[in-house]
Amino acid sequence: MELKDFKQRNISPGYIFFEGEKAPETGWQAFQKVVKRTLKGELFVGLWIVFREMIRFDIHTIQYPAQKMEMSPRYRAIHRLLRLFESGSERCIGCGLCEKICISNCIRMDTHIDEKSRKVVSEYSINFGRCIFCGYCAEVCPELAIVHGVEYENASEQRAHFGLKADMLTPLDTFRANEQKEFPGFGALSDNADEAVKQTPLAY
Amino acid sequence: MSDVLITIDGKQYTATEGEYVLGVARRNDIFIPALCYVTNCSPTLACRLCLVDIDGKRAYSCNARAKEGMNVITKTEEIEKERRAIMEIYDINHPLECGVCDQSGECELQNYTLHMGVDSQHHCIADTHRPTKQWGKIHYDASLCIVCERCVTVCKDMIGESALKTVPRGGAELDKTWKDKTEKDAYAMWNKLQKSIIGIASGAETLDCTQCGECTAVCPVGALVGSDFQYTSNAWELKKIPAANPHSSDCSLLYYDVKHTSTSNPEPKIYRVNSDHNYAPLHAAARYGFDFQNEVTCKDETAFARVVELLQTNVDTIVFDSYITNEEALILQKLKEKFGFKLVNEDAKAYQNFLKHFASTAGSNLYSGDLKSVSESNFVVSFGTAIKTDSPNAGYAMNNAIGMNKGAGLYFHPVADPIVSAYSKNLLSITHKIGAEEAIAYLLLDLFGDKETMPKSVVDYLTSFHTIEKKTIQESVKEDIKEMVKDEESGEEKEVVKTITKMVDKEIEVDTNALIELIGAEADLVEKITKLLDKKDSFSLIAGEDLFNHPRAENIAKLLGLIERFTAFKLLIIPSRTNTLGVSLICDLDDAKGNFSLGYNVKGDFTLSALGKGDLDMPALNQQEGTFTSMNKRVVPTNAALPFKGYCLNDIANAVGLEAEWTIDYTPYLPSEKGFKAEKFDHLPNRFENDGTENRGYALELQTFTCKDEVEPISSFTCKEGDVVYRANPVHQFSAFTNKAHQLSEAGALYASTAFLEAKSLHDGAVVTVENEAGAKLVIAVKEEKMIDGLIAYLPTFDTKIDTAPFFKEGYRFAHVVIKGVEHV
Ligand code: SF4
Ligand code: SF4
Ligand code: SF4
Ligand code: SF4
Ligand code: FES
């Protein structure tokens, strides 16, 4: 796709254009419209639908909080920091791309060198007072380390809750119990990722 | 050298004949990719990216010299293919660790890989294990190294230490079959790349150099980084704050890289110091001594009220040092004008007097040279300064000049310096007698002065040192003689010419210069200098702090004035502290203190201190905006990298009746009669242009006036027997401020050469007493200092716990003492 394709605003056929109701022009027309709307009984159309669904006992609402909704993997809620499946080590390498891309500038991290000469992320925080849950961080992350969770119950009496590394990182016991789920949402590899990779020759 | 016209990509540009084509292109904003070339250093031809087409032939623009009528094409299809192949080769086995690498985001390998559009790899070779090295303040990761040799080059050609070299990598041999499959230059580069990595030239385990860190600045990738900075922040998170080196008078352009302290602490913190390595080097103290800020939590109102009260009542003197900005100096001067305070600053006063006497014979208020003129000259003389530690940047300029301009130099100093001596084999180090600087100045006049125009009295005086004796020496001469030789076979006689060497007696005139003996140099000094002078045509002279408080300072200054006028030397008289020049121009300084003094960074009856050790805290130089006057005679701006929550000098001045909202409101009012300009602080530029012009602040205007030529003859200077100490700081240290920085902090000692330790049968770490006749006494540890030689030890000033001042009461940097080892019980 080239730039001009993006700029192309002509809508393809198949769209139905809705011009809308004509606005009344004279006082008489306006009066007619009011009378028509008042006496047509549109209110009862709605009421009838509700009543019909009620007596069918085929209810679509879920019984929250007893029942909870299963969110789509693409739902973007409070973030999680994942661990590597093989070793349980933290995935985040501290590359800082999420910090850079974050549109609300709400990610911060502290990194330093450890005894094994590796870069470690000693603290990682997202200010959820500012996060707009755009998902850019998850998308840019080269390690699939920062991802969105699916929990939507985020009430708390402290602003800083949920936003520290300890809150977001998969706890070790959850991890050991094999309960860390891979993230299929924003930024995850596509199913045909292998096909898209160019092979590099190897000397071994 | 004449100007020539060359064509680059169809446009004509003027260039100096012999200039590198890459330089011409850069000056005219034409981009030619180049990885291995470091401006002002010799081209190494390691990367071959700067490949261009010159008159139909392939050439490397970093070492192709401009010639009249040359036609340069920077981009052809063939060249682009070659460049892409080169970048592809660089990417073979390069670890995919950009995610953690410190250089990521400002990495030239990343940039060029993207720029050349390398999106796939066609080459491969087995990788070699290349372990990382921890070299003190520097971390070397060989697996990231692309062997561009910039570090080796800059260390040799700029810094002058040749501490690094390429060493065998021990990698896999390059299969010859690649030759046909790879572009020509890319293959050649690969072949070389596969053979080497960087190692320490001396073979030592860790870097045994001055650790200036310039190699980390030039490294295009993350192979050489500062150990302290490693993995603490990504480059793009850091805000660059342009400033000037606050520790020494080169006032080089540097950037404080600032970011919040941590996730939980939003206060800004300096993570590292960066520079524009292509234009000016930074020394270690500027690079590593950045966190000397004075942290206070709030305004100390009681102390502030007390100063204001004292200023209006008791205070009659303000004592201060030269680690202040021009604006602060002006505030102090204004306070003097308003309240009649005495201003006492020993260091600036000495410099001011020195310049005054210099001006009386030079006819100009300031010296004519600067660091640029030094590095552009091809004969550099340094005297009266321990250049390596007093002003590393002057040393770099000297080394750069000798190395790059086929130059030569002389280094006069009583303390032998193996590091400076190793700059070049064309640098002659003369370890002279203490106090002989006056004789050296006369010697320079004698050797380089224009005797026709020089005052007759001086010429006569100089002649009086010469004695011409007749001497008979034996000389070998070659003589041709003819001989008749009989050919044995044919029996014919032939005439053959033979050359034989004969010794003959010859009478010659020997000119003995008595000055040489006064200096304490070897008798053949003049002869050696004459040899070094072959084909030299531009001269610079560096003079420094030893002279300002020399017992004969006045006369030496006048002699320097004569040298400025009657020789081809361009002079650079190094201001001893960061803003000594500025203070000496702005303030009207007094000699003696009154009864009650207010100290600013110096101990007074009431002390304002940016070190946090006084009665009222002041902002340190990385918390202040303002200007410095550098040794390049430029007024350069510096900015605040960190906030300061207390009071500054301007607040105090305002409280006693001066009026200015900010300190920098004073910038346009710096004294114009001293050469300052009425420029507002915010209008001052602070950058280097593409052609290397230092577009920072503005240059001071020089004043000229008629001069007197009265100089005195050399006064005899006898050196007492016994131990001598020199006042100097070790490399990395300049003042208590550098010592406050966490990377540089160390305990002061008596620094002595290995020879000194042997002569006194002391060892590193031994404790000695240093005493002088006046009764000053110091118990201090001895530290072995490998970077000096000879029997003069030095005492530092950077450690506030060691009071060395009583030994140097008169200000002269050499002092007689008695050093005795302390017996351990
Ligand atoms: S979701 Fe968007 S706004 Fe929130 S942290 Fe990620 S990048 Fe920033
Ligand atoms: S982008 Fe991913 S790996 Fe990089 S710092 Fe953010 S979470 Fe860590
Ligand atoms: S360490 Fe850096 S500067 Fe030195 S050769 Fe390697 S890549 Fe070049
Ligand atoms: S720190 Fe300075 S002197 Fe040492 S190797 Fe690097 S450039 Fe050379
Ligand atoms: S810059 Fe010319 S060869 Fe590398």
Tokens linked to A93: 């390498």
| DSSP-derived secondary structure letter, B247 | S
ipTM value, please give it.
Answer: 0.84
Task: Using an 8 Å CB-CB cutoff, list chain A residues near B104.
Answer: 95
Collapsed DSSP state (helix, strand, coil) of residue B569:
strand
Residue B314 has pLDDT above 50, yes or no: yes
DSSP B130-189: --EEEETTEEEEGGG-----HHHHIIIIIIS---EEEEE---PPPPTTHHHHS-HHHHHH
Using alpha carbons, list the distances in angstroms from residue B281 to B154, B307, B451, B713, B779: 9, 41, 38, 40, 37
In angstroms, rounded to a whole number, what is the distance separating the alpha carbons of residues B170 and B130? 9
Residue B1 has pLDDT above 70, yes or no: no
Using alpha carbons, list the distances in angstroms from residue B448 to B438, B526, B564: 15, 11, 11
CA angle (B747 as vertex; B746, B752 as ends), nearest 5 = 105
At A142, which amino acid appears?
P
Mean pLDDT of B530-543: 96
The answer to whether residue A193 is domain-embedded is: no
Which residues, 6 or more positions from A27, have their beta carbon under 8 angstroms from its beta carbon? none
Tokens linked to A19: 């011009």
- In a shared domain, residues A133 and A32: no
Our answer on whether the CB atom of B157 is closer than 6 Å to any ligand 4 atom is no
Residues B578 and B251: beta-carbon distance below 8 Å: yes
Question: Beta-carbon neighbour count of residue B184 at 10 Å?
Answer: 14
The sign of the CA dihedral B312, B318, B323, B325 is positive
Q: What is the pLDDT of residue B556?
A: 97
In angstroms, rounded to a whole number, what is the distance separating the alpha carbons of residues A35 and A75? 46
- In a shared domain, residues A46 and A129: no
Q: Where does CATH 3.40.228.10 sit in chain B?
A: 354-573
Q: What is the pLDDT of residue B28?
A: 95
Which residues form ligand 1's pocket by a CB distance below 6 Å?
Answer: A 101-104, 106-107, 126, 131-137
Give the atom of ligand 1 at the shortest distance from the alpha carbon of A101: 7
Query: CA Rg, chain A, in Å?
Result: 26
Q: Phi then psi for B608, rounded to 5 degrees? A: -95, 130
Give the end-to-end CA distance of chain A in Å, rounded to a whole number. 39
At B192, which amino acid appears?
K
The answer to whether residue A10 is domain-embedded is: no
In angstroms, rounded to a whole number, what is the distance separating the alpha carbons of residues B670 and B695? 20
Residues B154 and B218: beta-carbon distance below 8 Å: yes
Question: Beta-carbon neighbour count of residue A28 at 10 Å?
Answer: 9
Tokens linked to B767: 């404790």
Q: What is the mean pLDDT of chain A?
A: 87
Partnered with residue B789 across adjacent β-strands are B416
Residues B235 and B102: beta-carbon distance below 8 Å: yes
For ligand 4, atom 5, the nearest C-alpha belongs to B163
- In a shared domain, residues A44 and A84: no
Residue A110: CATH number of its domain: 3.30.70.3270
- In a shared domain, residues A126 and A48: no
In angstroms, rounded to a whole number, what is the distance separating the alpha carbons of residues A139 and A186? 5
Q: Phi then psi for B724, rounded to 5 degrees? A: -125, 135
CA angle (B377 as vertex; B371, B380 as ends), nearest 5 = 80
Q: pLDDT grade, residue B825 (50/70/90)?
A: very low
Burial (Cβ within 10 Å: 0-12, 13-18, ≥19) of residue B701 = middle
Mean pLDDT of B331-357: 96
Q: Residues B105, B109, B112, B115: what is their CA dihedral angle, to the nearest 10 degrees?
A: -50
Our answer on whether the CB atom of A138 is closer than 6 Å to any ligand 2 atom is no
- In a shared domain, residues A93 and A150: yes
- In a shared domain, residues A88 and A169: yes
- In a shared domain, residues A106 and A180: yes
The answer to whether residue A99 is domain-embedded is: yes
The answer to whether residue A94 is domain-embedded is: yes
Helix (H) or strand (E) holding B626: strand B626-629
> Which chain B residues have any C-beta within 8 angstroms of a chain A C-beta?
98-100, 104, 119-127, 132, 172, 230-234, 236-237, 260, 262-264
CB contact under 8 A, A203 and B124: yes
The per-residue pLDDT for range A51-109, each reduced to its tens digit, is: 888 888 777 778 888 888 888 888 898 999 999 998 999 999 999 999 999 999 999 99
At B275, which amino acid appears?
S
CB contact under 8 A, B236 and A96: yes
| Contacts across the A-B interface (CB distance below 8 Å) | 60
Percent of chain B with pLDDT over 70: 99
* Candidates A111, A118, A202; nearest CB to B232: A111
CB contact under 8 A, B98 and A95: yes
Q: What is the pLDDT of residue A183?
A: 84
What b/e sequence results for A153-190 when a residue is b if at least 16 CB atoms lie within 10 Å of its CB, and e otherwise? Answer: eeeeeeeeebbebebbbbeeeebeeeebeebebbbbee
Q: Which domain holds residue A37?
A: 27-56
Within its chain, how far is the Cα of B766 from the centroid? 32
Which residues, 6 or more positions from A39, have their beta carbon under 8 angstroms from its beta carbon? none
Residues B737 and B323: beta-carbon distance below 8 Å: yes
Q: What is the mean pLDDT of chain B?
A: 94
Mean pLDDT of B161-168: 96
At B236, which amino acid appears?
W
Residue B62 has pLDDT above 50, yes or no: yes
Our answer on whether the CB atom of B273 is closer than 6 Å to any ligand 3 atom is no
In angstroms, rounded to a whole number, what is the distance separating the alpha carbons of residues B557 and B547? 8
Q: pLDDT grade, residue B171 (50/70/90)?
A: confident
Number of domains in chain A: 2
| Nearest ligand to the CA atom of A98 | 2
- In a shared domain, residues A91 and A34: no
- Mutation for testing the B interface, residue in A108, A112, A146, A159 having most B CBs under 10 Å: A108
Q: What is the pLDDT of residue B86?
A: 97
CB contact under 8 A, B100 and A203: no
B390 CA → ligand 3 middle, Å = 29
Q: pLDDT grade, residue B405 (50/70/90)?
A: very high
Helix (H) or strand (E) holding A113: strand A107-113
Lowest mean pLDDT among B277-286, B341-350, B379-388, B476-485: B476-485
- Mutation for testing the A interface, residue in B89, B91, B98, B100 having most A CBs under 10 Å: B100
- In a shared domain, residues A37 and A87: no
CB contact under 8 A, B99 and A142: yes
| DSSP-derived secondary structure letter, B691 | T
Verify cis geometry, omega within 30 degrees of 0, for the bond prior to A65: yes
How far A203 CA sits from the closest chain B CA (Å)?
5
The per-residue pLDDT for range B508-534, each reduced to its tens digit, is: 888 889 999 999 999 899 999 999 999
Nearest CA in chain A to B128: A203
Residue B673 has pLDDT above 60, yes or no: yes
How far A143 CA sits from the closest chain B CA (Å)?
10
CA atoms within 13 A on the CB side of B520: 17
Length of chain B, please?
825
Partnered with residue B497 across adjacent β-strands are B482
CB contact under 8 A, B100 and A109: no
Mean pLDDT of B20-31: 96
Q: pLDDT grade, residue B489 (50/70/90)?
A: low
Percent of chain B with pLDDT over 90: 89
Task: Using an 8 Å CB-CB cutoff, list chain A residues near B235.
Answer: none
The answer to whether residue A4 is domain-embedded is: no
Residues B103 and B222: beta-carbon distance below 8 Å: yes
Q: What is the pLDDT of residue B490?
A: 67
How far A114 CA sits from the closest chain B CA (Å)?
9
Helix axes B108-115, B77-91, angle to 10 degrees: 140
Nearest CA in chain B to A142: B99
CB contact under 8 A, B98 and A123: no
DSSP B581-609: HHHHHH----SS--SSEEEESS--SEEEE
The per-residue pLDDT for range B234-259, each reduced to its tens digit, is: 999 999 999 999 999 999 999 999 99
At B811, which amino acid appears?
G
SS3 content of chain A, % helix, strand, coil (to 5): 30, 10, 60
Comparing CA positions, the residue from B330, B179, B311, B165 lying closest to residue B657 is B311
For ligand 3, atom 6, the nearest C-alpha belongs to B145
CA angle (B427 as vertex; B63, B17 as ends), nearest 5 = 30
Q: What is the pLDDT of residue B488?
A: 67
Comparing CA positions, the residue from B62, B65, B58 lying closest to residue B47 is B62
If you classify domain B354-573 with CATH, what class do you get?
Answer: alpha beta
Tokens linked to A161: 């809750």
DSSP A150-189: -------S-TTTT-BHHHHBPPHHHHHTT-PPPP-STTPP
Comparing CA positions, the residue from B292, B309, B318, B242 lying closest to residue B596 is B318
> Which chain A residues have any C-beta within 8 angstroms of a chain B C-beta?
93-97, 99-100, 108-113, 117-120, 123-125, 142-143, 198, 200-204
B102 CA → ligand 1 middle, Å = 24
Collapsed DSSP state (helix, strand, coil) of residue B122:
coil
- Tell me which of 2.40.40.20, 1.10.287.1120, 3.40.50.300, 3.20.20.450 is the CATH number of domain B723-821: 2.40.40.20
The answer to whether residue A171 is domain-embedded is: yes
Residue A159 has pLDDT above 50, yes or no: yes
What's the pTM? Answer: 0.90
Within its chain, how far is the Cα of B643 from the centroid? 29
User: Is beta strand B539-543 parallel, antiparallel or unpaired with respect to B164-168?
Assistant: unpaired
Comparing CA positions, the residue from B384, B695, B444 lying closest to residue B570 is B444
Collapsed DSSP state (helix, strand, coil) of residue A73:
coil
Which residues, 6 or more positions from B184, have their beta carbon under 8 angstroms from its beta carbon? B82
In angstroms, rounded to a whole number, what is the distance separating the alpha carbons of residues B733 and B580? 17
How far B111 CA sits from the closest chain A CA (Å)?
17
B575 CA → ligand 1 middle, Å = 52
The per-residue pLDDT for range B182-230, each reduced to its tens digit, is: 999 999 999 999 999 999 999 999 999 999 999 999 999 999 999 999 9
Burial (Cβ within 10 Å: 0-12, 13-18, ≥19) of residue B186 = buried
Q: What is the pLDDT of residue A152?
A: 85
